[in-house]
């Protein structure tokens, strides 16, 4: 614009800038949570409602093959379902930032390019971690218990949070691909809901029609649910003897890696394409 | 600064638009909605890549050195924003830090800007509670938190009430006095006239005129004398009298009884016309010397542009 080239700080802050800007973006997202309490409250209410509905309505009607408490069986499924909806939370957050114009502000600043997306996904993990705590407390209230060691309990929590991080990357891609918050909401609910029902969350997969069983067995949400049921010593009446039945923890980790490897580059690409 | 043709769909938002802003001055980009003003700003602030052509900001290329550009510019306007769930101060500290200021300096800078923009009292309230004018001021303050050498304001007062608009002008003028180079887009001629050192009129992604406000006005023509005759029957006699004093063609609007005639004689000629009309006993309702406004400039220029724009496809890139 002008002839003189003005002195500007070096453009490459590298990893340090990526981390510090990522933390600033994370902090910004976290500060917003208590200021829009409706969002968190309804997310929690929805999950608690599921816990109560299934515990008290179906609790007696659905017998588990091989015995065991249906409530303990179900609750971990509800945990996994809630965590799967991380994709919706992230997608809605991103679309909202685009529509409010704040994403453009960020893009006009000399901040690390990665910070907006990393800040969003990391803060959503923290947010879902908070919701998980509330879910566990309400689970404890209706009779759920962990029957294994502290270490295995923590491993299960870690697995849930890792999975939430992976789902958030799907949300990044989705949020950058849809025009409005309403669409983001619709798309994520219509894709995640069937996935949570075609799983082992509510019923043991062997009760499904045989052609649906492989889908339900390999479904990442089923695998995650199996993994935490195993880790926490809660009922997991699984009759299959394939890989998903034998190595649910390993397969969950594989799913996490695959989802991130696919959706993070897609999301980043979408983000870059915003300037086209 | 040159930008040639950024394409969104098949529409050429910018078509060989060529601009230069001298350091320390204010360039007003004036044009109607959809003229390409915002696209220009988005290209120059690295939000949008041009499909062809080149643009450099502060000596840096918008594609190759986008990050360097971002550290010397500030952007505020209809497409930049603040976080409405954070407080005014939190917003400014955050943007300061993302401009890579150290933490303490970002805080100090935020307080400075809150004072300067008359937002100190509302500093700890969430932006949701702010009025439209306060929001715009915070938006502008955010753009300034990195002490930019170059400021881009995209329609900074669109949608503001007249009082907030005046306050905003005051703030912008103060800032420009300190030596910031400013590119301002606006659809208000008054605003361009008020704030800009030079003006470029944009329509259909092209610049159709440029110059200072005075230069643009003189492009449309010089001064005119306007007379409103009281009695319609006197119009022919009035034309005759005025014709003796001036040398241009006299335009007549029978309905409003208004006669308009170009003149180069200024106030002296006006006085003579008044005397002669009085002597001829022609009663008048109104008389005045009128310089063309930017509105006249704008209408005459965009009117032309609308007729000429299509089918002009020469490749300038």
pLDDT one-digit tens code per residue, A68-122: 788 888 889 999 999 999 999 999 999 999 999 899 999 999 999 889 999 999 9
CA distance A129 to A144: 18
3-state secondary structure B210-272: EECHHHHHHHHCCCEEEEEECCHHHHHHHHHHHHHHCCCCCEEECCCCEEEEECCCHHHHHHH
Q: Please tell me whether residue B155 adopts helix, strand or coil conformation.
A: coil
Kindly tell me if the per-residue pLDDT of A154 is higher than 70: yes
Asked if A14 reaches chain B (Cβ–Cβ under 8 Å), the answer is no
Residue A26 lies in a domain: yes
- Please report the pLDDT score of residue B242 as a whole number: 84
In this prediction, residues B217-233 reach a mean pLDDT of: 82
State whether A6 and B82 contact (CB < 8 Å).
no
Beta-carbon contacts of A238 under 8 Å, excluding residues fewer than 6 positions away, are A200, A204, A205, A226, A245
N-to-C CA span, chain B = 13
Alpha helices in B66-102 (DSSP H): 66-70, 88-98
Structure tokens given for A250: 């390993």
Domain count, chain A: 1
Domain residue extents for chain B = 2-218, 223-290
What residues of B are in contact with residue A28 (Cβ under 8 Å)?
83, 86, 90, 94
Q: Is the pLDDT of residue B10 over 60?
A: no
Residues of chain B found within 8 Å of residue A276, distances taken between Cβ atoms: 48-49
β-partners of residue B7 are B12
Most A CBs within 10 Å: which of B24, B48, B100, B159, as the mutation test of the A interface? B100
Query: What six digits make up the tokens of B88?
Result: 């005014």
Task: Decide if A234 is inside a domain.
Answer: yes
From A163's Cα to the closest Cα of chain B, the distance in A is: 28
Cα angle for residues B206, B81, B76 (degrees, 5° grid): 45
> Where is average pLDDT lowest: A19-23, A84-88, B12-16?
B12-16
Inter-chain contact B23–A4, Cβ cutoff 8 Å?
yes
Which pLDDT belongs to residue B315?
32
Say whether A104 and B60 touch across the interface (CB within 8 A): no
Task: State how far the Cα of A274 lies from the Cα of A175, in Å rounded to an integer.
Answer: 12
> How much is the mean pLDDT over chain B?
83
Task: Name the closest residue on chain A to residue B23, using Cα atoms.
Answer: A2
Q: Which two tokens stand for residue B132?
A: 């439209």
- pLDDT-derived band of residue B307, with 50, 70 and 90 as boundaries? very low
User: Model confidence over B244-278: pLDDT tens digits?
Assistant: 877 777 888 888 888 888 887 778 888 888 898 88
From CA B114, how far away is CA B105, in angstroms rounded?
Answer: 14
Taking Cα atoms as reference points, which of B144, B143, B98, B137 lies closest to residue B118? B137
Q: Does A3 touch chain B (CB under 8 A)?
A: yes
Chain B interface includes A109 (CB < 8 A): yes
Q: Which of B48, B70, B95 is opposite residue A275, by nearest beta carbon?
A: B48
Averaged pLDDT score across all residues of chain A: 87
Chain A residue with minimal CA distance to B27? A1
Q: In the structure encoding, which two tokens stand for residue B17, read together?
A: 């638009």
Q: Which one has a higher pLDDT value, B315 or A74?
A: A74
The proportion of chain A whose per-residue pLDDT surpasses 90, expressed as a percent, equals 52
Q: What is the pLDDT of residue A238?
A: 65
CATH no. of B2-218: 3.40.50.300
Q: What is the pLDDT of residues B124-180, one digit of tens each?
A: 999 999 998 899 999 999 999 998 989 999 998 888 888 888 988 988 888 888 888
**A110/B98 CB distance under 8 A:** yes
Which runs of E-coded beta strand occur in chain B?
Answer: 2-3, 7-8, 11-12, 17-18, 26-30, 56-57, 60-61, 73-77, 150-154, 181-186, 198-203, 206-211, 224-229, 251-253, 258-262, 284-290
Q: pLDDT value at position B226?
A: 87
| B82 and B113 Cβ atoms separated by less than 8 Å | no
Lowest mean pLDDT among A28-42, B89-103, B146-160, B280-294: B280-294
pLDDT at B3 over 60: no
- Over range A133-155, report the average pLDDT: 91
Percentage of chain A with pLDDT > 70?
A: 93
In chain B, residues with a C-beta closer than 8 Å to the C-beta of A32 are 83, 85-86
Three-state DSSP state, A64: coil
* Confidence band, pLDDT 50/70/90 cuts, at residue A44: confident
Quickly state the pLDDT bin for B7 (edges 50, 70, 90). low
List of chain A residues whose C-beta atoms are within 8 Å of the C-beta of residue B47: 104, 107-108, 274-275
pLDDT at residue B309, as a whole number? 34
A270 has a chain B CB within 8 A of its CB: no
Between positions 18 and 47 of A, the ones with CB within 8 A of B are 21, 24, 27-28, 31-32, 35-36
Name the pLDDT band for B313 (thresholds 50, 70, 90).
very low
Is it the case that residue B314 has pLDDT exceeding 60? no
- Identify the band that residue A228 occupies on the pLDDT scale cut at 50, 70 and 90: very high
Within-domain flag for A93? yes
Give dist(CA B106, CA A22) in Å, integer.
Answer: 17
Residue B311 or residue B76, greater confidence: B76
Separation of alpha carbons B227 and B230, rounded Å: 9
How buried is residue A14: exposed, middle or buried, by Cβ count under 10 Å (0-12/13-18/19+)? exposed
What is the largest distance, in Å, between two alpha-carbon atoms of chain A? 80
CATH fold label, B223-290: Alpha-Beta Plaits (3.30.70)
Beta carbons of A11 and B65 less than 8 Å apart: yes
Among the listed ranges A71-85, A231-245, B6-20, B195-209, which one has the minimum average pLDDT value?
B6-20
Ramachandran assignment for B179, one of left (phi > 0), alpha (psi -120 to 50 degrees), beta (any other): left
Which range (A127-131, B108-112, B185-189) has the least confidence?
B185-189
Q: Tell me the C-alpha distance between B138 and B145, whole Å.
A: 10
Pairing of strands B11-12, B7-8: antiparallel
Give the C-alpha separation, B134 to B117, whole Å: 9
Q: Does A110 touch chain B (CB under 8 A)?
A: yes
Distance from CA of A164 to the nearest CA of B (A): 24
CA–CA min distance B89, chain A (Å):
12
Indicate which of B13, B44, B60, B83 best probes the interface with A, i.e. most A CBs within 10 Å of its own CB.
Answer: B83
Residue A204 structural domain: 20-57+66-273
Contact predicate B4/B14, CB 8 Å: yes
A9/A17 Cα distance (integer angstroms):
12
Task: Answer with the residue of higher pLDDT: B19 or A106.
Answer: A106
Q: What are the structure tokens assigned to B172, written together? A: 């912008």
- Between residues B98 and A143, which one has the greater pLDDT? B98
Cβ–Cβ gap A11/B1 under 8 Å:
no
Instruction: Please say whether the beta carbons of B84 and B126 come within 8 A.
Output: yes
């Amino acid at each position: 614009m002008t002839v003189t080239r003005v002195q500007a700080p070096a453009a490459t802050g590298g990893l340090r800038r990526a981390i510090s800007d990522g933390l600033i973006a994370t902090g910004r997202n976290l500060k917003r949570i208590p200021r829009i309490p409706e969002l968190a409250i309804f997310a929690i209410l929805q999950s608690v409602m599921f816990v109560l509905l299934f515990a008290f309505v179906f609790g007696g009607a659905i017998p588990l093959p091989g015995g065991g408490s249906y409530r303990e069986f179900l609750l971990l499924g509800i945990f996994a379902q809630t965590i799967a909806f991380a994709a919706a939370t992230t997608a809605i957050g991103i679309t909202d930032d685009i529509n409010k114009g704040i994403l453009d502000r960020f893009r006009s600043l000399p901040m690390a390019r990665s910070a907006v997306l990393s800040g969003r996904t990391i803060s959503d993990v923290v947010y879902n971690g908070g919701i998980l705590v509330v879910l566990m407390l309400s689970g404890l209230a209706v009779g759920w218990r962990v029957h294994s060691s502290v270490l295995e309990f923590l491993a299960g929590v870690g697995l849930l949070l890792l999975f939430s991080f992976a789902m958030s990357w799907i949300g990044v891609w989705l949020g950058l691909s849809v025009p409005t918050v309403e669409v983001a909401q619709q798309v994520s609910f219509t894709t995640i809901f069937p996935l949570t029902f075609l799983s082992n969350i509510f019923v043991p997969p062997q009760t499904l029609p045989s052609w649906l069983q492989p889908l339900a067995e390999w479904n990442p949400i089923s695998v995650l649910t199996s993994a935490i049921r195993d880790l926490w010593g809660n009922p997991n009446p699984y009759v299959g003897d394939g890989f998903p039945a034998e190595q649910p923890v390993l397969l969950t980790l594989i799913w996490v890696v695959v989802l991130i490897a696919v959706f993070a580059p897609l999301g980043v690409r979408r983000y870059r394409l915003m300037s086209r | 600064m040159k930008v040639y043709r950024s394409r969104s769909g098949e529409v050429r938002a910018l078509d060989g638009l060529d601009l230069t802003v001298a350091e320390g001055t204010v360039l007003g980009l004036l044009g109607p909605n959809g003229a390409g003003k915002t696209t220009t700003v988005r290209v120059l602030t690295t939000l949008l890549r041009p499909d062809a052509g080149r643009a450099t900001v502060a000596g840096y290329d918008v594609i190759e050195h986008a990050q360097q550009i971002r550290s010397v510019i500030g952007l505020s306007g209809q497409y930049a924003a603040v976080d409405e769930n954070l407080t005014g101060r939190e917003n400014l500290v955050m943007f300061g830090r993302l401009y890579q200021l150290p933490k303490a300096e970002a805080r100090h800078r935020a307080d400075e800007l809150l004072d300067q923009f008359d937002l100190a009292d509302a500093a700890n309230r969430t932006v949701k509670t702010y009025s439209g004018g306060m929001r715009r001021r915070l938006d502008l303050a955010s753009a300034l938190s990195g002490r930019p050498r170059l400021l881009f304001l995209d329609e900074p007062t669109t949608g503001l009430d007249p009082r907030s608009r005046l306050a905003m002008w005051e703030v912008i003028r103060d800032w420009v006095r300190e030596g910031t180079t400013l590119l301002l887009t606006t659809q208000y001629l008054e605003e361009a006239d008020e704030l800009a050192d030079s003006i470029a009129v944009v329509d259909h992604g092209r610049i159709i005129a440029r110059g200072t406000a005075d230069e643009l006005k003189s492009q449309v023509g010089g001064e005119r004398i306007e007379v409103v005759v009281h009695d319609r029957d006197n119009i022919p006699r009035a034309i005759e009298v005025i014709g003796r004093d001036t040398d241009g063609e006299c335009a007549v609007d029978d309905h409003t009884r208004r006669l308009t005639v170009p003149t180069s004689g200024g106030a002296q000629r006006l006085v003579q016309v008044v005397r002669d009309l009085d002597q001829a006993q022609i009663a008048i309702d109104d008389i005045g010397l009128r310089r063309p406004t930017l509105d006249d400039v704008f209408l005459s220029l965009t009117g032309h542009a609308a007729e000429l724009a299509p089918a002009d496809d020469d490749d300038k890139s």
